[in-house]
Each structure stands twice: as structure tokens, then as C-alpha cells.
């Protein structure tokens, strides 16, 4: 049996479109009823909008042919009622859809935020904040056209022309065909010009997403970039993203411009008037049409294409809205971290890795058959060359990602059986990149335990050797800090996050490079803060500088995702393997510096 490739591709595209439509309809679900109501009102409003034109045409005909005065009055009333009804209904329909849009925006933002709370934490690491901001903000705003305008435009574009065609056919079917003659041409021109539009719009939105990310990266990193004299290179990278966006925008504008021009030329009142008057005069001259019957075509027919123009002008916004809806629905379709079927919570806090495999991309193993036991209340240090999987190993414990093979247990309970909030409550994480939220110092520390009193917060700050620093700040504990810490030094920011972790009082602590990049004076304070944090807890620490973990209860040496050595510092130095080499190199470097 042979398979027709073009049919298969077409089927695949059509099924993808169906899926997209289903997804968009699912997004609109909460306001679907109101959208239908608004659309129905817009349809009736559009039909009513024909009445004033018909009234003028009929009144003119009555006056020219000496018709009854009462009929003229009735047409005047009908015309005025039609105009008022059209306007009133359209206003109400717009209210209905705009309120629906506001509700939908609130609903989607909340739904996105709730969903993001359920996806694996590691998912966020792969995305720039610009990209997430775009989905939460810009994409939802871009959906405005879809919700508030698109259906109304369609209803208006269908209602008035349909009613007009019915009316015009009753006057003269041949002239009706003449009046509509330009429409198929316009649709054809539009189809040709728009053949590449969906792809161009997707490119445009992609380029916009890259600009968003690169702007945030550029602005965020500007201090470091300048400090390293790399502003030229960074600027070139940023401006190449901007150039790329401009190119895509120019291509899109050319494409859209062609389509717009073709339509404006074909559907403008002047073009329609030329066709109607030309053909109409011919029909009158041939005696096939009464001169008075030409009036409805001039009055009604000329305005017929206008709603199509509105519809066509809206197609770009509609396309943008659909791509935006697709982004929103992609994020909502992101798989949640599987919730435990039989939730359990551990009562002891040793951490055990049993034959753990892990891969970020599904093929390359970053961790390979890792087994280790970290007894409760002990310190396990993880060391190894860059890229050996140290950070990944610690990230798996709070389920930033789920293991792809084997299992991790806390107190004998598989972490996948522990409800996520219970798991995170039991693990204090001091990240490599210290992140604060834009709030007061007090609330930044209180994040560790939202119900903590001010006295608890202060006690944690004292333990983290931060109290004196905070007291000297302009507004003490009420000083607002930014995401990058504002006036705080690197070491102070770290101690603030350590205070947060101390307040959390979690039985398991994960430290990743917590003491890197601080000056010696700060390092002493950070080390003191850390020893407060880690006392009597199960501690897993990722370290590069081996002297900080020489007293660890056990050291795991990772290389290429496998544990190649394990033991205490003395045992490993004795073994004269990889750890011993790393130790001696660091010793020599330290001595050389001193
Ligand atoms: N989010 C991610 N997506 C894909 N690959 C990743 C991700 N995070 C890390 N990796 C890759 O996994 C491997 C192990 O990275 P990991 O950060 O765990 O190593 P590490 O030993 O902590 O390195 P370093 O000491 O440099 O911090 C590396 O090859 C890294 O490029």
C-alpha cells in the first residue's frame, strides 16, 4: 500500500489545527457563554444596521415615484429605530465581551500561576524571566482581540452583508451579483498574500520573545558586563537580536502591506461604486433595470464590503491572539510534577540515593547509577570537576526534576510519595545564585516560615550574623531590598538567605557553593552563619574549595555522573586518587597565593 505524502502532511496539519482550536476553546471555556451572547447581539446589531440604508433607498424611491407620504414616515421611523438599535446592541455586546475579557485575563493569570506552582521547579531554570513574563502578561493581553473583538467582528461581517444580500436580491438578482463581484477577487488576493502570514507571525512572536529575554539579560547583567569591559560584545549580541527582530518585522510588514493594499483597492467604496454604476448604467440602458432600482445598490451595495475590511484588518490581531493563546495553553499543558498516590511523610531524615540515573534531555545521562547514604545529622560533601553532576544530585532531592532511574528516599520514604509542600518544608536550600524578592528584609527572611513572629525573624538574623548589619540599614528590618539585593554585599545577601533557611528550621539542608565569591571577612561570618544553620541536620554540601569540607563525615567524589571515590578526607587523601590530587593542587595554589 502506498501512502500519499501530501495527504499525510495535510492530515497532520489539519489535526494540529483541530488540536489548537480545541486548546483555544478550552482556554475560553469560562467565558464561552458570554462570548456567544455578545456575538448574537453583534449579529442582530449588524442586521439592524442595514435598516437606515434601506430606509434611505426606499424613501428616495418613494419620493421619486410620488409614493404615499405615510410610507415615507414609516421608513423614517424604521431607519431611526434601526440605527438606534444597532448602536445600543453593539455597545452592550462590547460591554459583555470586554467584561468577559477582563474576567478571562484574571482567570488565566491565576490558572497559570497555580499551574506553575505544580510544574517541577527545574522547569523554571530552563526559561528566562522575560519569557515567563511574556506568557503571564503580554500573551494574555494579546488574547484581548480574540475575546473582546474577533467574534463581534465576525458577527458584524456576516450579519449586515447577509441581510443586505437578501434585500438586494429582492430588488434585482443580477445587480446583486455585480455588487458582489469584487468580493471573490479580494478573498483570492488575500489568500495569496496571506499564504506565508501564519509562519511570519510565529517568527515575529519568536523574535519578540528573544528580545524580551535578551533585554532582561542585558539589563540584569549590565554591571558585570561593564565591569569586565565586555559591554561591546554584549551590546553586539543584544543589537543582533534587535536587528533580527527588525528584519522579521520588515518582512511581516511587507507581507501584510501587500494584503492590505490589495483589499483597500478592491473593496474601497470608490471601486464598488465604479463597478455598480458601470454595470447598472448598462442594465438601465438595455432596459433591464429601472433607474430607481439602481439606488439601493448605490446606497447599500457600496457599504457592503466595509465589514469585510474590518474583519480583514482584525486578522493580524487575531493571528497574534491565537499564537498568544497557544503559548498560554503550552504552559498550561506542561506536565505537573506527579502527585503521590499514597502520600506519606518521613519521620527520620537520612537521605539515600539508590541506583539513581538522571538525564535532562532523555538521552544523555548526567547521573549514572549513583548510590549513596547520608545518615541523619551528618555532613556529606559532594566534590568533583565542573559538570560532573554535583548540583544536579542535590536538585533531585527537592524534586526540581524527578529521577529517570532508581530512587531517592528520605527516612525510608521515596520522595515521590511525599507531598511536594511537605517535602520542601523539610529541606532548606541555599542556592548558588542568591535570590531575594522585592520586599522588606523582614519579609525576605520570613519566607522561610510565613507564620514566624518578628522575634523569630530577629533570632534567625542574629544566628546568621546579620542582625547588626540590618540594624544599621536605613529602615532596619523594614528596608526594602531588590531581587539582586540592592545595598547588600554578596556575603550579606548570602547570610540573609541563610537566616531564611535557619528560620525554616528544616531537618535537611542543601548548600550549593554557598560560600563562593565572598571576601575573607565575610567568609568568616558566612561560615559562622552556616554552622548555625547546619548544626544537627542532614547536610549535603556541594563544594569546590576542599578546605571548607575537610571535616565532613563523608565526601563523595563525582566524575562524569558517577561516584568514583567516597570516604572521609583522611581516607581519600590516603587513597591517593582523584580527591587527593584535587586536594594537593588546591593546597599548592593556596600556598602560592599566600
Ligand atoms: N537545566 C539543565 N538542562 C540541561 N542540562 C543541564 C541543566 N543543568 C545542568 N545541565 C548539564 O548537566 C551536567 C551536570 O551539571 P551540574 O550543574 O550538575 O554539574 P556540577 O558538577 O554542579 O558543575 P559546576 O561545578 O560547574 O557547577 C552538565 O553537563 C550541565 O551542562
pLDDT digits (tens, 9 = 90+) for 227-251: 555 556 667 777 788 888 888 888 8
Tell me, in angstroms, the distance from the centre of ligand 1 to residue 391's CA.
7
The pLDDT assigned to 227 comes to: 57
Task: Say if ligand 1 is within 6 A of residue 198 CB.
Answer: no
| CB of 126 closer than 6 angstroms to any ligand 1 atom | yes
The CATH number that domain 16-333 falls under is 1.20.1560.10
Q: Which of 353, 358, 360 to probe ligand 1 with, by most ligand atoms within 8 A of CB? A: 360
Among 222-236, 298-312, 442-456, 519-533, the range scoring the smallest mean pLDDT is: 222-236
For ligand 1, is residue 392 a contact (CB within 6 Å)?
A: yes
Has residue 509 got a pLDDT over 50?
Answer: yes
Select the more confidently predicted residue: 227 or 443.
443
Q: Is the CB of 130 under 6 A from ligand 1?
A: no
Distance in Å, CA 392 to ligand 1 centroid = 6
Cβ–ligand 1 distance for 508 under 6 Å, the answer no
Residue nearest to atom 25 of ligand 1 (CA): 386
Does residue 498 surpass a pLDDT of 90?
no
Backbone angles phi, psi at 329, to 5 degrees: -70, -25
Mean pLDDT of 398-403: 89
* Per-residue model confidence (pLDDT) at position 318: 73
Choose one of 361, 392, 546 to mutate for the ligand 1 pocket test, by most ligand atoms within 8 angstroms of C-beta.
392
Does residue 500 surpass a pLDDT of 50?
A: yes
Other beta carbons within 10 angstroms of residue 266's beta carbon come to 23
> With a 6 A CB cut-off, is 29 part of the ligand 1 pocket?
no
Q: Is the CB of 229 under 6 A from ligand 1?
A: no
Whose CA is closest to 49, among 156, 183, 188? 156
pLDDT at 360 over 80: yes
Distance, in Å, from the CA atom of 432 to the CA atom of 511, rounded to the nearest integer, reads 8
pLDDT of residue 515: 52
Report the atom number in ligand 1 closest to the C-alpha of 432.
Answer: 27
Q: What average pLDDT does this structure show over 541-570?
A: 89
Residue 110: in which H helix or E strand, if any?
helix 69-116
pLDDT at 4: 45
What percentage of the chain carries pLDDT values higher than 90? 18
Query: In 127-255, at which residue ranges do the beta strands (DSSP E only) sit?
Result: none
Q: Report which protein residue has its CA nearest ligand 1's atom 28.
A: 387
Domains 16-333 and 351-593 share a fold: no
Residue 8 pLDDT greater than 80, yes or no: no
Residue 558 has pLDDT above 90, yes or no: yes
Ligand 1 centre distance from Cα of residue 398 (Å): 16
Question: Residue 126 CA: which ligand 1 atom is closest?
Answer: 1
Ligand 1 mean position to 389 CA, how many Å? 6
Cβ-contact 366, 374 below 8 angstroms: no
pLDDT at 414 over 90: yes
Once rounded to an integer, what is the mean pLDDT over residues 210-229?
Answer: 65
Residue 374, pLDDT above cutoff 90: yes
Decide whether any atom of ligand 1 lies within 6 Å of the 125 Cβ. Answer: yes
Band of pLDDT at residue 2, cut at 50, 70 and 90: very low
Cβ of 391 closer than 6 Å to ligand 1, yes or no, is: yes
Higher pLDDT, 530 or 247: 247
Across the range 371-382, mean pLDDT stands at 92
**Whole-angstrom Cα distance, residue 246 to residue 145?**
24
Q: What is the DSSP string of 538-586?
A: EEEEE-SSGGGGTT-SEEEEEETTEEEEEE-HHHHHHHTSHHHHHHHHH
Query: What is the per-residue pLDDT for 215?
Result: 74
Band (30; pLDDT cuts 50, 70, 90): confident
390 ligand 1 Cβ < 6 A? yes
DSSP letters, 419-470, are -HHHHHHTEEEE-SS----SEEHHHHHHTT-TT--HHHHHHHHHHTT-HHHH
Q: Residue 129 C-alpha to ligand 1 middle, in angstroms?
A: 20
562 CB contacts (<8 Å, ≥6 apart)?
Answer: 368, 369, 370
Mean pLDDT of the chain: 81
Ligand 1: which of 389, 393, 433, 546 to mutate, judged by most atoms within 8 Å of the beta carbon? 389
Closest residue by CA, ligand 1 atom 8: 392
Instruction: Provide the whole-model pTM.
Output: 0.64
Give 194's pLDDT tier (boundaries 50, 70, 90). low
For residue 463, count other CB atoms closer than 10 A to its CB.
20
What CA–CA distance (Å, rounded) separates 313 from 315? 6
Set of cell numbers at residue 395: 536538585
Is the CB–ligand 1 distance for residue 386 below 6 Å? yes
Q: What is the model's pLDDT at position 9?
A: 45
List pLDDT tens digits, range 297-330: 887 777 777 777 777 666 667 777 777 888 888 8
pLDDT band at 1; cut points 50, 70, 90: very low
C-alpha 411 – ligand 1 centre gap (Å): 27
Average pLDDT over residues 476-487: 74
What pLDDT is recorded for position 491?
A: 75
In the predicted structure, residue 224 carries a pLDDT above the cut 60: no
Higher pLDDT, 226 or 136: 136
388 lines ligand 1 (CB under 6 A): yes
Residue nearest to atom 13 of ligand 1 (CA): 387
Q: What is the largest CA-CA distance in the chain?
A: 119
The band of 44, judged by pLDDT with boundaries at 50, 70 and 90, is very high
pLDDT band for position 493 (cuts 50, 70, 90): confident
Fold (topology level) of 351-593: Rossmann fold (3.40.50)
Q: Is 366 in the pocket of ligand 1 (CB under 6 A)?
A: yes
Domain boundaries, the chain: 16-333, 351-593
Look up the ipTM and state it: 0.97
| 410 CA → ligand 1 middle, Å | 23
Rounded CA-CA distance 445/462 in Å is 12
Q: What percent of the chain has pLDDT over 70?
A: 85
Task: State the pLDDT at residue 223.
Answer: 56
- Whether residue 485 is predicted with pLDDT greater than 70 in this model: the reply is no
Out of 120-129, 445-454, 475-484, pick the least confident.
Answer: 120-129
Spell 468-503 as b/e; 16+ CB within 10 A means b.
ebbeebeeebebebeeebeebeebbbbbbbbbbbbb
Q: What is the mean pLDDT of residues 56-77?
A: 84
Comparing 165-174, 221-230, 469-478, the range with the smallest average pLDDT is 221-230
Q: What is the pLDDT of residues 120-152, one digit of tens each?
A: 777 776 665 666 777 777 788 888 877 888 788
Nearest residue CA, atom 3 of ligand 1? Answer: 360
| Cα 2 to ligand 1 centroid, rounded to whole Å | 46
Amino acid at each position: 500500500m502506498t501512502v500519499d505524502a501530501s495527504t499525510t502532511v495535510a492530515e497532520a496539519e489539519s489535526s494540529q489545527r483541530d488540536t489548537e482550536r480545541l486548546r483555544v476553546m478550552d482556554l475560553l471555556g469560562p467565558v464561552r457563554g458570554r462570548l456567544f451572547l455578545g456575538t448574537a447581539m453583534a449579529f442582530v446589531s449588524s442586521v439592524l444596521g442595514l435598516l437606515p440604508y434601506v430606509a434611505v433607498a426606499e424613501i428616495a424611491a418613494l419620493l421619486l415615484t410620488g409614493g404615499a407620504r405615510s410610507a415615507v414616515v414609516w421608513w423614517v421611523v424604521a431607519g431611526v429605530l434601526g440605527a438606534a438599535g444597532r448602536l445600543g446592541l453593539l455597545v452592550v455586546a462590547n460591554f459583555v465581551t470586554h467584561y468577559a475579557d477582563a474576567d478571562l485575563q484574571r482567570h488565566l493569570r491565576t490558572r497559570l500561576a497555580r499551574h506553575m506552582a505544580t510544574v517541577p521547579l527545574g522547569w523554571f531554570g530552563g526559561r528566562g524571566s522575560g519569557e515567563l513574563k511574556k506568557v503571564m502578561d503580554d500573551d494574555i493581553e494579546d488574547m484581548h482581540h480574540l475575546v473582546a473583538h474577533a467574534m463581534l467582528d465576525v458577527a458584524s461581517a456576516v450579519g449586515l452583508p447577509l441581510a443586505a444580500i437578501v434585500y438586494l436580491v429582492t430588488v434585482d438578482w443580477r445587480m446583486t451579483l455585480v455588487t458582489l463581484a469584487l468580493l471573490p477577487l479580494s478573498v483570492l488576493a488575500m489568500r495569496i498574500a496571506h499564504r506565508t502570514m501564519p509562519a511570519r507571525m510565529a517568527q515575529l512572536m519568536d523574535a519578540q520573545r528573544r528580545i524580551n529575554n535578551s533585554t532582561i539579560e542585558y539589563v540584569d547583567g549590565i554591571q558585570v558586563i561593564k565591569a569586565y569591559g565586555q559591554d561591546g560584545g554584549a551590546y553586539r549580541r543584544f543589537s543582533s537580536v534587535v536587528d533580527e527582530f527588525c528584519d522579521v518585522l520588515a518582512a511581516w510588514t511587507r507581507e501584510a502591506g501587500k494584503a492590505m493594499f490589495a483589499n483597500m483597492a478592491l473593496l474601497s467604496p470608490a471601486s464598488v461604486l465604479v463597478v455598480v454604476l458601470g454595470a447598472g448604467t448598462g442594465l438601465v440602458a438595455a432596459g433591464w433595470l429601472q433607474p430607481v432600482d439602481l439606488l439601493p445598490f448605490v446606497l447599500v451595495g457600496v457599504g457592503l464590503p466595509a465589514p469585510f475590511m474590518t474583519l480583514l484588518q482584525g486578522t493580524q490581531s487575531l493571528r497574534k491572539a491565537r499564537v498568544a493563546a497557544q503559548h498560554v495553553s503550552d504552559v498550561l499543558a506542561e506536565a505537573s510534577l506527579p502527585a503521590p498516590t499514597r502520600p506519606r511523610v518521613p519521620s527520620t531524615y537520612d537521605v539515600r540515593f539508590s541506583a539513581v540515573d538522571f538525564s535532562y534531555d532523555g538521552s544523555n545521562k548526567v547521573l549514572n547509577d549513583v548510590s549513596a547514604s547520608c545518615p541523619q545529622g551528618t555532613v556529606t560533601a559532594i566534590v568533583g570537576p565542573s559538570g560532573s553532576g554535583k548540583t544536579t544530585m542535590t536538585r533531585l532531592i527537592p524534586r526540581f526534576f524527578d529521577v529517570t532511574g532508581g530512587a531517592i528516599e528520605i527516612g525510608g520514604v521515596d520522595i515521590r510519595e511525599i507531598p511536594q509542600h511537605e517535602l520542601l518544608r523539610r529541606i532548606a536550600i541555599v542556592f548558588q545564585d542568591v535570590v531575594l524578592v522585592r520586599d522588606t528584609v523582614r519579609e525576605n527572611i520570613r519566607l522561610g516560615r510565613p507564620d514566624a513572629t518578628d522575634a523569630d525573624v530577629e533570632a534567625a538574623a542574629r544566628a546568621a550574623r546579620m542582625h547588626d548589619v540590618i540594624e544599621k540599614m536605613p529602615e532596619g528590618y523594614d528596608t526594602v531590598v531588590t531581587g539582586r539585593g540592592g545595598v547588600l554585599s554578596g556575603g550579606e545577601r548570602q547570610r540573609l538567605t541563610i537566616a531564611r533557611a535557619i528560620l525554616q528550621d528544616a531537618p535537611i539542608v542543601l548548600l550549593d557553593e554557598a560560600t563562593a565569591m565572598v571576601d575573607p571577612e565575610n567568609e568568616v561570618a558566612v561560615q559562622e552563619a552556616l554552622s548555625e544553620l547546619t548544626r544537627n541536620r542532614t547536610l549535603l554540601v556541594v563544594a569546590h574549595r576542599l578546605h571548607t569540607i575537610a571535616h565532613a563525615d563523608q565526601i563523595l567524589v563525582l566524575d562524569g555522573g558517577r561516584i568514583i571515590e567516597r570516604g572521609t578526607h583522611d581516607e581519600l587523601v590516603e587513597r591517593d586518587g582523584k580527591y587527593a590530587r584535587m586536594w594537593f593542587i588546591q593546597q599548592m595554589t593556596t600556598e602560592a597565593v599566600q
